[in-house]
Amino acid sequence: MQHANLPLTKRPRAAVACNACRQTKSKCDSARPVCSRCAARSVECIYTQTVWDKRLERQEDRRALLVLRNRVSELEAQLAAASSPRDAATNIQHPAMSSLAKEAAAEVSEAGSLDTNPESAADILATGAFDRLPTAEIGYFGPSSNHALLRSMAAFVTKLGARDSHLFQEEAPTERSVPMVPLPPMISTPTNTSKQAEGFPNPQTCVDWIARFFDTVGSVLPYISEGPLLREANRMGSRIWIDSPHSRSTKALLYIVFAHALSTLDDGMPDPFYHKSLGLLMTNEQSVFSWNLETVIALLLVGSYQQNSQRAMASLTTLCLAVKAAYQLGLHSPSTYEGLGVQEKELRVKVWYAIILQDRDLAKGLGRPCLIPPQYVQVEIPESIAPSKYAASTVTMSPSLKSSIYFSHLISLHDIVGDTLETIYSANIGSSQMPPKDATLKAISLFDQLEKWRDHNIHFPIITAATDVGSWSADTFQQEAHAVLLSLFYYRTVVLVGTPVLMAILEQVTSSAAGGDLSGMLKDVAASVLKRDWEAIREFQTLLSAILRRARPFLKSNAVWWVCNFTALTVCWHGLGLWLIAMRSTSLPPAIGITNSEAELFLVEGLDTLKSVGGSSIMSGKAHRFLQRLIRLLKTMGKHRRRASSSRTNCDHKTLPPSSNRACSTPRQAARMACLTTTFWISCLGLWTISSVRWATATFSGRTC
């Protein structure tokens, strides 16, 4: 082993060719300053060092990179402003303001450290599923996620004859369309909002933003009240509050309320307040170990903000903290509610179920097991907000009571979501593959629960195609917000229940061994499930398209952008699956009530809706391009199939000579060829027999004469 002591030599690198040799693809000796080839041709020799990574030439990846750079630049600018010498001099002259400046600098520093956390990059890494990255790099996404639908659909199309490399082949960057949303500037211009975000807003601004919050997002969140927030904002603005864990939790709650309010405005800058709230909740040691109900509410609002600002993966960390705080406060235990007043008990129940709702949404969307299993949900809803206690009309109800009844209906609907994740998806732990019989029977039971829920929902009826939502104004959508939101969540749940049945039927119709059709009672029951699925995805797309056309701010004003964006992609996967069934099966499409052309048209419209609702979402952009490639591949494969079928038909009807010995491409065609040949020989034998009889008769008659 003497060579182990020898010094290591650098790995030789390939010499860089000059631009002229690159253009002509000629061999360059890389001589400096002029290579021999350019010297012989008497042309200018220029060397250009390529420093740009070609993997970042895709527009969406550049967008993500620029967004991250912009965020870092903003944080650096805020940190520099907070720690500048001018501020230090001001703090020396005014000792009373010293603690406030230190607090602001600490919050900005904490926000900067949190923003560079690897968890915030998980949303970008999750888009690697469309680049065929392994699970170890993008993370685990279980059967209920869109990632699982991507894997299943790619496998089905590959079984039909498509090459796997064609499914994931990206187009050239120059061929892609320009992103809908413009790139944010690298350095934000100073505005009144950004100046106000540097410190705590003045009292009047606080009142305006809190009122804005309760006119929009807060109107569908009954676990937070306007009066206490206004009192705390007045105390914060007057600087008459004592620094304590409770005060810091309240301040974090106010900051995230401001962030939600500003997110509903076109010229608002909500991120600084979001980072301040996140910094107080995540990095303040006393706040973490002295949790209270305000802390849990603030964590819920932070998680909702993250989901609706393209940080869904990061919101999982926030939800974990909220669940931990809820367990510490005993919100899950019915015994902790004994002896409490009516209002306090009602508030604790609402906060506990708000955590459960967010847990079910993230478990479904990200394909993860629920942090709160169904057996842990034992706290009963108070009679004061039970929907069965009130009449169907909501005209005379107060806004708070209407919001509470809506929340109760949403809780019971998410109970069905939890049961679906446990029974059909094996808590997102098991495999997504299920026999058609098992998937269909479980889906029928869950659909029965959904029908009962819909019958009990007399306060906010589900919107259907009979309602002309296309003519609604933006004000009408906001007035009917509770009915619209329940309809979106209801159709999403129907699609969730129908997904395993759709996957099981696609496994059958795309398999050459199983044939293209089901038979008997299983076909009838599966067709009824898929018919409900087909109706649900059409209703959801109609409603979402109307919102995008007539009242696009509705999604931000009610914090449902992430749910709609996620479900829009799921609807496209289902449209693709039903299109495959319409192409491959002969008996199922009539029972479902779908045709090939209807399914294709729906899928094209669904892609337009996905592109519109997705905006700058990297996941939506990649999914849109992937589905477009699938549509082109399936159309090309369909043309080839029809051409081959036409050729076989012509071959079947063609008269063959006796000496024909053609090779046929399939056993079925070979059997038909053999049958035609046999028929030909029998015909020849018959003609020969008739001719022989006629000749014998003529000969016999001639001899007789």
The two most distant CA atoms of the chain are separated, in Å, by 149
Residue 665 has pLDDT above 50, yes or no: no
C-alpha to C-alpha distance for 570 and 573, rounded to whole angstroms: 5
Amino acid 370: pLDDT? 95
480, 492, 690, 700 from 696: Cα distances, Å = 96, 84, 10, 6
Q: Which of 116-120, 284-288, 345-349, 430-434 has the highest mean pLDDT?
A: 345-349
Domain count, the chain: 2
Residue 75 has pLDDT above 80, yes or no: no
Would residue 85 count as lying in a domain? no
DSSP characters over 264-288 = TSTT---HHHHHHHHHHHHH-HHHH
Tell me the average pLDDT across 539-560. 95
> Which comes out higher in pLDDT, residue 171 or 507?
507
Would residue 572 count as lying in a domain? no
Tell me the average pLDDT across 182-189. 36
C-alpha to C-alpha distance for 309 and 320, rounded to whole angstroms: 19
First to last CA, the chain: 118
C-alpha to C-alpha distance for 318 and 515, rounded to whole angstroms: 48
Amino acid 491: pLDDT? 98
CATH number of the CATH domain containing 47: 4.10.240.10
Residue 179 has pLDDT above 70, yes or no: no
Phi, psi angle pair for 208, to nearest 5°? -65, -45
Structure tokens at 666: 């399939």
> Which comes out higher in pLDDT, residue 436 or 343?
343
10 Å CB burial of residue 544 (0-12, 13-18, 19+) is: buried
Whole-number average pLDDT of the chain: 78
Phi, psi angle pair for 15, to nearest 5°? -70, 150
User: Residue 98: which pLDDT band, with cuts at 50, 70 and 90?
Assistant: very low
Domain that holds residue 660: 651-698
Would residue 619 count as lying in a domain? no
Residue count of the chain: 705
The three-point CA angle 352-243-296 to 5° equals: 10
Would residue 398 count as lying in a domain? no
Q: Note the pLDDT tens digit of each residue in 305-357.
A: 999 998 999 999 999 999 999 999 999 999 999 989 989 999 999 999 999 99
Would residue 671 count as lying in a domain? yes
CA atoms within 13 A on the CB side of 555: 22
CA gyration radius for the chain? 34
Amino acid 177: pLDDT? 41
Asked if 615 and 181 touch (Cβ cutoff 8 Å), the reply is yes
Q: Note the pLDDT tens digit of each residue in 234-255.
A: 877 666 555 666 678 888 999 9
Which residue's structure tokens are 């420093």?
51
pTM of the model: 0.73
10 Å CB burial of residue 81 (0-12, 13-18, 19+) is: middle
- Say if residue 95 is preceded by a cis peptide, omega within 30 of 0: no
Q: Note the pLDDT tens digit of each residue in 473-497.
A: 999 999 999 999 999 999 999 999 9
Which residue's structure tokens are 């002029």?
34
Would residue 8 count as lying in a domain? no
User: Residue 158: which pLDDT band, with cuts at 50, 70 and 90?
Assistant: confident
Q: Specify the amino acid at residue 347.
A: L
Amino acid 248: pLDDT? 81
